[in-house]
Amino acid sequence: MLQGFDPIWDENARVLIVGSMPSVESLKKQQYYGHPRNAFWRIMADFAGKEFDLPYEERKAMLRDMHIALWDVVQFCDRQGSLDSAIRNEVPNDFAWLFSKTRITHVCANGKTAEPLFQKYVTLPSGVTFCGALASTSPAYTLSFEKKKVNWQVILPYLERE
């Protein structure tokens, strides 16, 4: 059985981005979106005006500075390979706990698998809006980087910059 990661968050988080389960490469590196061709960190760095190739700890700090929390829907599962379609026997993370510790107002899914998993397992608290699925940042989803970035711009109005 595979185990996902702890969330990246702080109490000022406004936007929660949910994935499904870390890929084989991410699990090996012990980093969210650890595959070198995954567009997630590049998109976030562009939005923050930062360099893409920051060390992982600085990438996590960048998300917190942007008031973004990051967590996968699945805490444990069985899966061969990295494809979301291969996820079996999933156990969800405790999102009620995360919502109680943050000021999240919007939740967006990274890709089409995270969306139904989130909707299956998570009840949103009052005042929190689910924005649906954004274009997957996975290299398996062949949309160009620029088109992915444009699609992800939907989160920008929800971020409170201080």
The structure tokens listed for 44 are: 């976030």
**Those residues with Cβ within 8 angstroms of residue 80's Cβ, 6 or more apart along the chain or in another chain:** 86
Residue type, 146: E
Nearest-angstrom CA–CA distance, 22 and 30: 9
Nearest-angstrom CA–CA distance, 108 and 151: 12
Alpha-carbon torsion (78, 81, 82, 86), positive or negative: negative
Catalytic: 38? yes
Nearest-angstrom CA–CA distance, 35 and 121: 26
State the catalytic residue, choosing from 12, 38, 93, 110: 38
**Those residues with Cβ within 8 angstroms of residue 17's Cβ, 6 or more apart along the chain or in another chain:** 68, 69, 70, 107, 108, 109, 110, 155
Residues with a known catalytic role? 38
